[in-house]
Amino acid sequence: MSAMAMDVDGSDIPKAPQACVACRKAKRKCSKDLPSCALCSRMSRACDYSETTQSPNADDFAVMRQKIADLEARLEGRRSDLGWHEPIKSISRSPSSSLESGFTNDTASTFPTAFFLDAQLFTESRMTVVKPSLPVPPEVLATLGTSILDIQDVVDRFFANIHTWLPFISKKRMQLTLSNPAMELSFDFALLLLSMKLITQVPSKGLQCVRSPLYFLAKRMCFLAESNALMSLQTLQANVLVAAYEIGHAIYPAAYLSAGHCARFGHVLGINDRRHAPQVLKRVGAWAEVEEQKRTWWAIMLLDRYVNLGTYGHPLATDDPARGDTLPVDDTLWDEGEMTTSEPIYVSSSTKVKAGPFARTAQACHLLGRLIRLLNDNMSDSPMRFTEAIQLHRTFQALTNLLPADLQRSPMQYGTSLALCYGGLLHLYDPFACSETNHGTNSVEETEMMTISIAGMKQAAIGILQFSQLLHVEMTNNPAAISPLIGDCIYMAAATYGWLVHETGSRESADAYHALRRVLETMNNRWALGGQYLAVLQRSKETLYPDTPLL
């Protein structure tokens, strides 16, 4: 047979007589271009058109054993409840392209167990963690697209929308990576891109739609990375995006568990404490890399606190930051990759110090951590408990008063921090506004905090109503960029107005209640979390205020 074949349309474009070895092995259609097929050219790998059939190796036998086990499991009806081996029909119809193919016991590196069994030995003996080389599954390649332009589109949409309220992935470093002509699509980088595509996706209405094939593909990829000991910053960042997606679409209990899982993952890498915790990541000197690690940990703390706002009694998965820890630097400078020369802002710094959007979010996040620990603490004596509550009220209020001016300039960037502050105030006031729920002993501090709470609930609700009207306009104009983390404060304000309508019959409070419901309805067009808050409000009305006509 000739080593060159004619194209089917009669042109003299040279074609190989058969598919290349890589395409034959993956059972993919090969373009047969010479000297390299389209897929191999895109992946920057050698293209082999040899006709010799290689002898099966250990990997081939392992894949065959896995396929036989899958078949036996199907016949015996023992398939996993997670549907791990279910084909994702909308992504790949090929039964031979499952995520598991190509993964064997020899694929991943052996993670040093001394890291967990004797961390001191791991550190003193200078043991290292070798990053495993894992193949990117065909389903993932097909989902990300066929060219660098497809990937660039995913990245651009991510930074134009999600990055405005959760800026923890380096925009500059991503740009440099994608502009590199020798870029290789590693497993963890592909997973990060897949998670970016997931969180920028706007599913149609309905709870089943948010649990899409793309969502399950991202979850399975996260599991594969973890089970093959691929512990990298990009893998962690992908997990953070999946957790944020679950929070935004109220996929519970997965959202709560994923936030805690990200915390554990961060602990393993050591980014929670780069000075004292055992480290999996190599020490880096580049300013952008250090800042990216710090921001990733702040993002994890943020999600951990948000999923705990409505579940008093559950401990946080992350510790409070130390007073000497620094807040994120100016967002604009970081996006441009310019090392800032300004004074660092510490956790202990005054809220009056000028700070960027994500630094303000981090300040609000820190206060939420203190709030949750206070509400969970039933052991402190009453005077100290009320003193801490009063101090939290003052600090929350000081930060809240600074943010409206920033919000006018950039609603999408500063909306999350203001929403967390307003929501935190209502969560603080709610149990302390009534003597039956604040576990007090009629002390002076208790009376002061009760007075603050009763007046504060109405003032915070008014502030949220005004704040939500501005965001409502932004949601309508640019729904893709809205933060799901604003939902809690809008729900808490609506619940407060619902209570006021029941107590006073005020038409003004009823109008505010319905205005906030409309904001949640608009939010539901982007994040299913809005619809779930509406459902909780409806259940509250039916249970607590069934005879209140204005609701």
Q: Are residues 322 and 393 in the same domain?
A: no
| Domain count across the chain | 2
Q: Are residues 289 and 408 in the same domain?
A: no
Q: Are residues 217 and 136 in the same domain?
A: yes
Closest C-alpha among 286, 267, 296 to residue 167: 296
pTM of this structure: 0.79
Q: Which CATH number goes with the domain that contains 499? A: 1.25.40
Structural domain harbouring 413: 377-551
- From the number of C-beta atoms within 10 Å of its C-beta (0-12, 13-18, 19+), residue 199 rates as buried
357: in domain? no
Q: Are residues 106 and 255 in the same domain?
A: yes
d(CA 204, CA 525): 8
- DSSP 8-state symbol, 317: S
Closest C-alpha among 368, 232, 237, 226 to residue 299: 237
Single residue among 304, 330, 356 that ends a domain in this structure: 330
- From the number of C-beta atoms within 10 Å of its C-beta (0-12, 13-18, 19+), residue 251 rates as buried
100 Cβ partners below 8 Å, 6+ apart? 63, 66, 85
Q: CB 107: neighbour CB atoms within 10 A?
A: 17
d(CA 263, CA 164): 22
199: in domain? yes
Q: Are residues 389 and 326 in the same domain?
A: no
Q: Are residues 516 and 382 in the same domain?
A: yes
pLDDT by residue for the chain (551 residues), tens digit each? 344 444 444 445 678 888 888 888 777 788 888 888 888 877 767 788 877 555 565 555 555 655 565 565 555 543 333 333 333 333 333 333 456 555 655 544 578 888 888 878 888 878 878 888 899 999 999 999 878 899 999 999 999 999 999 999 999 999 999 998 888 899 999 999 999 999 999 877 665 689 999 999 999 999 999 999 999 999 999 999 999 999 999 999 999 999 999 999 999 999 988 788 888 887 776 888 999 999 999 999 999 999 999 887 899 999 999 888 899 999 998 898 877 655 677 787 877 788 899 999 999 999 999 999 999 986 566 778 899 999 999 999 999 999 998 998 899 999 999 999 999 999 999 999 876 666 656 788 888 999 999 999 999 999 999 999 999 998 989 989 999 999 999 999 999 999 999 999 999 999 999 999 999 999 999 999 999 999 999 999 999 998 888 88
Q: Are residues 291 and 432 in the same domain?
A: no
Q: Are residues 316 and 406 in the same domain?
A: no
Say if CB 100 and CB 227 are below 8 A apart: no
d(CA 235, CA 223): 10
Q: How far is CA 450 from CA 249, 419, 435, 447, 495, in A?
A: 35, 23, 8, 5, 19
25: in domain? no
Q: Which two tokens stand for residue 376?
A: 């969970």
